[in-house]
Structure 1
Amino acid sequence: MNNIKKYFSIRDLENLTGIKAHTIRIWEKRYKLLSPERTTTNIRTYSLGSLQKLLNITLLYNNGYKISKIAQLKETEIPIKVQEIMAVQNNKNHVLNAFKMAMINFDQTRFAQTFNSLLADYPFREIFKDYFIPLLHELGLLWQTDTITPAHEHFITGLIKQKILVNIEKLQLTEPTKTDKTFILYLPEGEIHEIGLLYLNYEILLHGYKSIYLGQSIPLDNLGELLGLVENANFVSYFTVAPAQEKIGKYLEELSLSIRKQKGSKVLLLGRQTELIEAGDLPENIDTFGSIEHFVEEVIQ
């Protein structure tokens, strides 16, 4: 695959490990911990092996090992020390690094193995909250700094979606236990970032409610078609990049008008774009939530 990244700049290493470039240079020069290659213009480049080694060194360093002691270890001893730490504690940074290396290498087997090791100790809800949300946040930063390509992002988010869908499917085997409202989940036209909405669907089903999942890029007039079929409809959406800032006001006004046809219907919104909405500008039948946790506590708990 052409998008596999085999060599990294020192800034890439900084972004992926959290260790400042200046510190990496010191460790490299003083302790010979890394052996970069040089481009024809004398710029350092680092291999996948160097990235993996630095991630392991970072874990040891963050767990109390002095860098001078790490430098004295043989190459084969460093991963052994890492495994010793992992045997007595679940190190969050190590797990996130394992997911990142799976992404960099387009390695779905490593992703599955890392996920299954977590699943042995934690329910899916905790894995999503404690590992997938921080990972997704970090992916955004890595993409913005050109450390990873869109192909990397699509690969890892596709695997996360698979895990959410598997857990949704398990819940769909049982009938809803709460019938006072039905949730209709959709993304507005132009919005394709689906992970947040998918996970909300999982939480809604987990709490015993019925949901109708429409998915990405749904026109407003499609929502109106459901009003005559569903009582006490709660429309749930996730605004990550759409509607655009200059269009949000008009969109919310049209959305509010379209659902007023049915008494008791509401719109519940999450996502980055909702931060652009002034609370006083919200129609009375539309609410916003700052996080998934907030939504769960206020709406379905």
Structure 2
Amino acid sequence: TPLFYQGNFNADGKKMRAILVREVSNGTDTYRLWRRDGKPDRKRPSNTDDAYILYVELGGYLATLGMTDFYLTGHCGHQAAVTALYGDEDKREQYFDSLKPSDGNGAAEALEQERALAQEYGRSPARQADYIKFILDRHTAAYRAAKENSGETPPDYTGALVLGELQSCVELYHIYKDKQRERNWAYCRKCNQLAEKQVQKALRVIREGGVLRNDTVEFYRSRYDFSACSIFLHLMKLYYVDVPLRVQGWITNKLVSATISDGRCSDIHFWGNKGDRTSQRFVDCMNELIRAVAS
């Protein structure tokens, strides 16, 4: 049973065909590694060991490690390979810095030698078990942090599974989502209040006269779902002023500001080349907007 199904906690206990890859141990901690059966997880794997994401068996579930066998092995052997070839990371950096730019093959050959040695050292079951424990400890720390702060941060299902507190994690996740939803709505309310102030300020300029800059106004439906457009276009839409598409593009891309004086649009600043003329259709739309706001 995978811990997650389509990115969410597998609350319904949906099954997955899986193949046991191997068991690794450091003498204290033992982990059984699995991969799913069937179509590879990666479209362009580097080799056969890079095709499937690994899962670790925990409490009757398969929790993803988020990496392939090839990556796991290479990561576990990297430090040992660096020590064997260079001594430490600083000396490794010095070695590659010493290679001449023209000697591109030398750098490529050195990297290939390093990768091959990392794969060799990384096959050690003890090294792999140590690294998997390190990963699981991070998950556990994330779950404990969410538990301590009562759902202010997202609870970690894998960490909860390690501790045997999966049901508590489900409940804590609902608390976290409620708090996140409230934070998102509070954020949207704040942004929309600022946008409304921006609109009211622009309307005051239109009624009383002054310079109206072509700033962007943003209204939020959710934290990551918002509409943004020119304050001019927003007001024209608000007051049902019909603006041709070409003029909309001119407003968005070229208009800098417009001056309202004596109930008319009197001065316009825009980006363009010397000799470019103001869009007369924009002036007409602007005067229509001024009349609509005043009525």
Under a length normalisation based on structure 1, what TM-score does the superposition of the two structures give? Answer: 0.22
Based on CA coordinates, which of the two structures has the bigger radius of gyration? 2
